[in-house]
A and B are shown apart, each in its own frame.
Chain A
């Protein structure tokens, strides 16, 4: 039978052991669009939807462990949104209620679209992905080691993305996305910003403006100089009307396509980053402990 619906991770690996070339199916929102369009012809499918080990999330010390099968709707749930607010913001912008109910974190990562909406935030959070094989082998990788090109990953045949680890409540997190409408839109440009007051660090990642998510380290260095960590506020030009536009435009490597020109993508990414910083500091008083 060429469609398997294993009821545990052990069963899934048992199937993959005999058929390492099998295609993995999660929510189907990328997979089935390709099948319906005749761009993907599956011969053997392992559907992961009933594997309990991949579902939901849990706390492990100060880390949140997100199952590969975590849906966008679950990312938006208040309990998880409190621990990883940036991911909840990104999830809320994905598709529609139907897509958010079906689509998963693991599917978004494995699809490796330059416009994948969880990817910039995972990069800004310094997330770690755990991949597993049927021989029991496990490896932990960062996003830049896993997603290496548009729709290109280092996932091996038979390898399954199991979970994603991020730090719980890591500072202020902001995600912004530009598109033609609020729902059902693939990002023209997006930005994720994490300002970690405890560690006094800033991380900035850009989506849809390059072949993979771009970490904007130059922006991070400049931004760190514009933060008064003790007072938890922005100083210098950002206090007024200054912005990160030029720095972001330099970091971005966008292309022209049917959704946008490269020039507009650069501009939009700059606006997103600047606005994300202002947001990260605007309501700081109300949320500081």
Chain B
């Protein structure tokens, strides 16, 4: 037994978020990516509802893969390309197709789950534009919503699919 208290060594590192390098300074070792995004980089779109990987409200894309930012060690995410919900939102006042569909279909109530769902659904429609209802349900099975009962969310995903195919047909 020793009584030595150890002061956590502070870390400085770079994270690439939404196409830009961000310097993180004087961070503690155990900080998860969600914490660093919100509290150090001011990107508050990703939400914290569990910090256990259970709810999906902190979903981000890392090198193109959908993951929970709360179960990633921020300091180990150097060198990866991170995309948050902010990065999926057009600059200015506009909304993305998926975001438009969520608003139009009433898939947003309290809105806490919405940013995570926008990231998951955008990822799904990029990989599987014609996803069936079963595929949609599996794709959002890691995003918990306590308000909507999911019916409106599935309707929104399908509306986004229609909007996309209509847009592509016009090209």
Chain A positions within 8 Å of B, measured between CB atoms, are 1-3, 5, 25, 27-29, 31-33, 35-37, 41-43, 45, 47, 49-50, 73, 95-99, 101-102, 182-184
Contact = CB atoms under 8 A, between A and B. Distances in A.
Nearest to B72: A28
B141 A3 contact: no
Contacts of A47: 73, 76
B6 A96 contact: no
B115 interface: no
Contacts of B68: 29, 98-99, 102
Contacts of A32: 32, 53, 70-73
Given A29-B71, A36-B32, A1 B52 contact: no
B120 A97 contact: yes
A5 B78 CA distance: 8
Interface string B60-81: 0000011110111101101100
Interface in B12-65: 13, 29-30, 32, 51-54, 56, 59, 65
B62 to A, nearest CB: 8
Interface of B: 6, 9, 11, 13, 29-30, 32, 51-54, 56, 59, 65-68, 70-73, 75-76, 78-79, 120, 138-139, 141-143
Given A45-B29, A95-B53, A97-B66, A33 B138 contact: no
Contacts of B70: 32, 36
A29 B71 CA distance: 5
A42 B75 CA distance: 12
B141 A182 contact: yes
A184 B78 contact: no
A97 B53 contact: no
B132 to A, nearest CB: 15
Contacts, number: 98
A263 to B, nearest CB: 28
A179 B52 CA distance: 19
A3 B76 contact: yes
B56 A3 contact: no
Pairs A-B, 3 closest by C-beta atoms: A96-B142, A183-B141, A47-B76
A32 B51 CA distance: 9
Contact of A45 (B54, B73, B79): B73
Contacts of B66: 97-98, 101
Contacts of B76: 3, 5, 25, 28, 45, 47, 49
Nearest to A35: B30
Given A3-B75, A28-B71, A41-B30, A184 B52 contact: no
A78 B38 CA distance: 37
Given A32-B71, A98-B59, A2 B32 contact: no
Contacts of A97: 66, 120, 138-139, 141-142
Contact of A183 (B9, B11, B79, B138): B138
A42 B29 contact: yes
Contacts of A1: 9, 11
A33 B139 contact: no
B31 to A, nearest CB: 9
